[in-house]
Amino acid sequence: MKYMDEFRDPATAKKLVAEIHKLASTSLSQREPLQIMEFCGGHTHTLFKYGIESMLPDNIEMVHGPGCPVCVLPMARVDDCVAIAEQPGVIFTTFGDAMRVPGTRKSLLQAKADGCDVRMVYSPMDALAIARKNPEREVVFFALGFETTMPSTALTLLQAHREGLQNFSLFCNHITTPATMRAILTDPDLRLDGFLAPGHVSMVIGAHPYDFVTRDYHKPLVITGFEPLDILQALWMLVKQFAEGRCEVENQYARIVPEAGNVAGLKAIAEVYETREHSEFRGLGNIGDAGIQIREAYAAYDAEKKLGLPFDFAQGAVGYDPEHLKCADVLRGVMKPWECPAFAKTCNPQNPLGALMVSPEGSCAAYYAYGKLAKRKETV
């Protein structure tokens, strides 16, 4: 499998692991364990699937980050989705993993079971096709995701505008990665030494939006891909920075990530979206300028303005997680999934109580999928 096997070569992996151990033993032995956050849940799954975490020296600890936009979606926003879906004449469209995220009343999947017209789609263009076929119905697409998915929803809205479609709108819940990263860095409960930054997000935004991480917080950062050798090389680059006393933004994923990002994608994002003053995120609280909303020029395609919502987003979230669920602490990286009393007991993939167990990129789903159900097993 050309373009796949090259990034899973065992001999190269062994060399990189040996180099990481060598650097760690000579440069980090007198320090507290390095705490490195992999921001993306895709990286978490690669770490577990290929056993990378267990190959690392004891003085390097991986801290699992927010994972994915579904994971940081507050329950109140799920309630809003259900409220929109319950409106007469609405066809609510969304990606599959968002359908099972619990709200305070019900999930979208439960709303569908109760008679709402909720449909799973594979892209926003699928939702646009549904709108063309159903001109008498309002078709809403649940637009969520970091910068990875923003260009596709922005371009879909622009296409609807060009066609003059009046029955299509976005329920916009996009969020930005740099602002979320800044919120993590200012968390007083979390000690981090560096980041592995998501390759797919960086493919859109480029490398420079991370400059503040090194400039303002003095934490090195390496943009990386999702294959095992990507992760190992990025970790080697990060540890090498510590060993050499450097603090820089480096791009391991240069074969995909241009320094300036995707110019066409960024242009579409700038045309359609602007930042929100207030945005509530599960586990991270209110993060200024991290949430995204549709510009006034395209208000006719903004489901919030077009259909109205029961919850005033600007006033802060309602509907926090139940107290016995520790999703927020896991999201912030201050607790491992197995430390949550509900993990692998009442909360499991068959009956997910929190978004981290629902989403394929959630850290709880990763721990469960790879059998890391308790500390005893994790350290075997």
Q: Is the dihedral of CA 322, 327, 328, 334 positive or negative?
A: positive
SS3 content of the chain, % helix, strand, coil (to 5): 45, 20, 40
**pLDDT for the residue numbered 312:** 53
DSSP code, position 246: -
Alpha-carbon distance of 290 to 61, in angstroms, equals 27
**pLDDT for the residue numbered 238:** 96
Q: Is 136 exposed, middle or buried (0-12, 13-18, 19+ CB in 10 A)?
A: exposed
Q: How far is CA 206 from CA 60, 125, 147, 214, in A?
A: 27, 25, 11, 15
Per the DSSP assignment, residues forming a β-bridge with 294 are 273
**pLDDT for the residue numbered 31:** 61
- For residues 125 and 95, the answer to whether their CB atoms sit within 8 Å is no
Residue 55 half-sphere exposure, CB side, CA atoms within 13 Å?
23
**pLDDT for the residue numbered 380:** 39
Single-letter amino acid, residue 299: A
**pLDDT for the residue numbered 317:** 47
Name the residue with tokens 């799954």.
45
**pLDDT for the residue numbered 376:** 54
- For residues 373 and 357, the answer to whether their CB atoms sit within 8 Å is no
Q: Write out the two tokens for 89.
A: 């004449």
Helices 150-163 and 124-133 sit at what angle, rounded to 10 degrees? 20
Neighbours of 18 (CB within 10 A): 12
**pLDDT for the residue numbered 1:** 55
Alpha-carbon distance of 207 to 202, in angstroms, equals 6
Per-residue pLDDT tens digits of the chain, which is 380 residues long: 567 788 889 999 999 999 999 999 887 765 678 999 999 988 998 998 999 989 999 999 998 887 677 777 888 889 999 999 999 999 999 998 889 888 888 999 999 999 999 999 999 999 999 999 999 999 999 999 899 999 999 999 999 999 999 999 999 999 899 988 998 898 887 789 999 999 999 999 999 999 999 999 999 999 999 999 999 999 999 999 999 999 999 999 999 999 999 999 999 999 999 998 877 777 777 777 778 999 999 999 999 999 977 655 545 444 566 777 888 788 777 888 888 988 888 888 888 887 788 777 788 888 888 877 776 545 43
Pinpoint the alpha helices (H) of 122-274.
124-133, 150-163, 177-185, 199-205, 211-217, 228-244, 263-272
Neighbours of 135 (CB within 10 A): 11
